[in-house]
């Protein structure tokens, strides 16, 4: 440790002296478990802490109530990062070694943290706070910008912030995500993501069937009933399944998922449903592939509307670019990850894992955690793993809106590991609840957060104290974009500057009604009223 510069000592000392504070903050966000665009309490907790630390915070940045932009310092360089804090509906799990809902008073399909984003935000936040402390103690000049980025699960906020110019002054950015490995992405970054909502409306049901000179009468609501909005969505869903296989060749990695957001809205079952909505999310490694998928979806929607006598409209939820690598910055970040070392999981964490193994009816193992979560992967590791399953021409993989940070300045992506369960049977599947439980149990998740915070803080210090390294990363950015922002290979934001984020849509959320605080699905009071016809898998 004696060879470590004093500025990095300041970073590490700050993190070491704030372990409990870091753990408590993570646990607070984890317990809120608020889903996309509805992270009200989570955002407020971040804003309150950042303001107390001296950051100037713009609340509701980009017209998103649960977003923020926090700034501290002055001058160059401007180093950016972000917190995410959205949870996932249907993933409620308590931090216990057996299957148990996080809150028994809420609906069983309420939200919970999976990756967890509670750890993502906490790791990034305290990395920037540690860098701030080191800058104060060592009279370093620079500006820190940390964003609150809601709705990552629908890639919702970063494309909006990017389109509205919030990232334009970056000199570098340091995206981070919890994982099952400790690594830094090198060449292969995240792919693109499109999300579109199609709304079908039954505007004039009376026009569907008006016969003349026939020997019968149209009687009430049942006469010549228009197929209507719900049928339109069902047709859209099934028609898309038929054409999905023909959208693109079977190559690379691309996916299409759908979600019925509004399903009819009819409480009178003898009237035609007047509105229904279906949302499509598609991931692809190239924007040209995305455009083909969108063309097919648009044509399908038009045909369905004509068949069902409905009006169809289209609303863009989000669009992201493909990632842009910066090997120079990846190498700086990786060097600091090696300096910090992998997470060290205590016997308490391992005993928790053994209890899960036991509750899964396995013999508890002496070493119940994966090897990968306790070591650092080589810097080429993520690329090698991706290349194993994808063709050589693929330059991006999966999707995540962190890629929006990569088009104004050098950027990379850091991964640190949560505790990952091993099973004696390597072919057995680990239940999702077990992973979620470990991500909420402090001894299993805190070490990865600590590793991330130290790595982020130390990397910020390098970018400030070694301008030649930041300049090298900047030159690489200019080369990869064909001249920097606006260059021949640069891709501008895919959303317009005046884009209005889809915060008004009926996303799943917690609500307070006359019945009290509940999930948007009320918890059944009388379970026996539901007769199980089939248990599923």
pLDDT digits (tens, 9 = 90+) for 419-475: 999 999 989 999 999 999 999 999 999 999 999 999 999 999 999 999 999 999 999
Distance CA 535, CA 537 (A): 7
Q: Judge: domain 6-191+322-481, CATH 3.40.50.800.
A: no
- Give 150-200 as a DSSP string: --GGGT-SHHHHHHTTTTTT-SEE--EEEESSBEE--S-EE-EEEEEEEEE
In the predicted structure, residue 520 carries a pLDDT above the cut 60: yes
Q: Which residues contact 424 (CB under 8 A, 6 or more apart)?
A: 357, 362, 363, 365
End-to-end CA distance of the chain: 53
Map out the domains of the chain as residue ranges.
6-191+322-481, 195-319
More confident residue, 246 or 534: 246
Instruction: Report the half-sphere exposure of 515 (CA within 13 A, side-chain side).
Output: 12
Kind and range of the H or E run holding 99: none
Sheet containing 142-148: give its strands across. 56-59, 68-74, 142-148, 78-83, 172-173
At the topology level of CATH, where does 195-319 sit? Alpha-Beta Plaits (3.30.70)
Q: Per DSSP, what are the bridge partners of residue 361?
A: none
**pLDDT mean across residues, the chain:** 93
Phi/psi at 137 (nearest 5 deg)? -70, -25
The pLDDT score that the predictor gives to residue 267 is: 62
- Among 68-72, 270-274, 513-517, 525-529, the least confident range: 525-529
Q: What is the pTM of this model?
A: 0.94
CB crowding 212-242: b at 16 or more within 10 Å, else e: eeeeeeeeeeeeebbbbbbbbbbbbeebbee
Backbone angles phi, psi at 328, to 5 degrees: -60, -45
* Count of C-beta atoms within a 10 Å radius of residue 75: 9
Span 373-386, mean pLDDT?
A: 95
Give the CA-trace dihedral at 89, 90, 94, 97, to 10 degrees.
Answer: -140
- How wide is the angle at C-alpha 32 spanned by C-alphas 30 and 33, nearest 5°? 70
User: Mean of the pLDDT values across residues 407-430?
Assistant: 95
Q: Of 122, 201, 86, nearest to 448 (Cα)?
A: 122
Q: How far is CA 452 from CA 30, 69, 295, 442, in A?
A: 17, 21, 41, 15
**How confident is the model at residue 528, as a pLDDT?**
60
Query: pLDDT band for position 356 (50/70/90)?
Result: very high
Beta strand pairing call for 414-417 and 183-184: antiparallel
Contact 439, 115 (CB under 8 A): yes
Confidence class for position 82, pLDDT limits 50, 70, 90? very high
Task: Check the CA dihedral 315-317-323-324 and report its sign.
Answer: positive
- Name the nearest CA neighbour of 443 among 372, 369, 377, 336: 369
Over residues 61-72, the mean pLDDT reads 98
Quick one: pLDDT at residue 527?
Answer: 56
Task: Tally Cβ neighbours within 10 Å of residue 210.
Answer: 8
Report yes or no: 147 and 173 within 8 Å, Cβ to Cβ: no
Residue 276's nearest CA partner among 311, 251, 244, 300 is 311
In the structure, what pLDDT confidence band is assigned to residue 2 with cuts at 50, 70 and 90?
low
Quote the pLDDT of residue 502: 96
CB 132 within 8 Å of CB 72? yes
| Strand, helix or coil for residue 149 | coil
In 358-426 the beta strands, taken as DSSP E runs, fall at: 396-397, 414-417
């Amino acid at each position: 440790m004696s060879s470590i510069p004093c500025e990095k000592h300041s970073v590490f000392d700050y993190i070491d002296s704030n372990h409990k504070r870091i753990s408590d903050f993570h646990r607070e966000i984890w317990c809120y478990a608020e889903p996309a665009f509805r992270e009200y309490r989570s955002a407020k907790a971040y804003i309150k802490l950042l303001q107390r630390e001296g950051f100037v915070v713009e609340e509701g940045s980009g017209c998103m109530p649960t977003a923020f932009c926090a700034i501290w310092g002055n001058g160059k360089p401007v180093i950016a990062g972000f917190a995410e804090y959205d949870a996932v509906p249907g993933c409620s799990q308590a931090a216990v070694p057996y299957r148990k809902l996080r809150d028994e008073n809420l609906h069983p399909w309420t939200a919970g943290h999976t990756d967890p984003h509670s750890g993502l935000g906490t790791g990034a936040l305290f990395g920037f706070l540690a860098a701030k402390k080191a800058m104060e103690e060592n009279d370093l000049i620079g500006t820190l910008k940390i964003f609150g980025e809601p709705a990552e699960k629908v890639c919702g906020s970063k494309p909006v912030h990017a389109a509205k110019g919030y990232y334009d002054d970056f000199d570098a950015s340091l995206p981070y995500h919890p994982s099952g490995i400790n690594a830094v992405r090198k060449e292969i970054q995240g792919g693109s993501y499109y999300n579109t909502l199609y709304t079908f409306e039954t505007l004039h049901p009376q026009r569907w069937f008006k016969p003349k000179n026939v020997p019968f009468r149209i009687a009430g609501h049942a006469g010549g009933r228009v197929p209507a909005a719900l049928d339109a969505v069902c047709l859209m869903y099934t028609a898309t399944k038929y054409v999905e296989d023909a959208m693109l060749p079977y190559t690379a990695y691309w996916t299409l998922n759908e979600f019925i957001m509004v399903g009819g809205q009819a409480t009178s079952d003898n009237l035609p449903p007047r509105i229904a909505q279906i949302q499509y999310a598609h991931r692809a490694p190239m924007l040209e592939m995305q455009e083909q998928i969108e063309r097919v979806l648009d044509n399908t929607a038009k045909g369905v509307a004509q068949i069902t006598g409905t009006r169809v409209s289209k609303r863009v939820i989000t669009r992201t670019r493909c990632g842009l690598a910066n090997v120079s910055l990846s190498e700086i970040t990786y060097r600091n990850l090696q300096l910090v070392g992998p997470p060290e999981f205590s016997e308490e964490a391992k005993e928790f894992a053994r209890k899960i193994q036991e509750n899964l009816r396995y013999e508890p193992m002496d070493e119940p955690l994966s090897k990968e979560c306790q070591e650092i992967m080589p810097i080429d590791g993520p690329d090698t793993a991706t290349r194993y399953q994808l063709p050589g021409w693929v330059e991006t993989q999966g999707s995540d809106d962190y890629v929006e940070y990569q088009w104004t300045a050098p950027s990379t992506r850091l991964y640190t590991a949560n505790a990952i369960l091993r099973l004696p049977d390597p072919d057995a599947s680990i239940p999702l609840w077990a992973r979620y439980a470990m991500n909420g149990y402090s001894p299993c998740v805190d070490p990865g957060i600590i590793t991330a915070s130290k790595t982020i803080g130390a990397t910020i210090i390098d970018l400030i104290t070694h301008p030649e390294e930041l300049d090298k990363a900047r030159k690489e950015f200019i080369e990869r974009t064909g001249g920097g922002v606006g260059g021949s290979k640069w891709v501008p934001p895919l959303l317009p500057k005046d884009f209005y984020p889809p915060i008004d849509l009926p996303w799943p959320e917690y609500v307070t009604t006359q019945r009290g605080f509940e999930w948007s699905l009320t918890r059944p009071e009388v379970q026996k009223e539901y007769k199980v016809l089939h248990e599923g898998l």
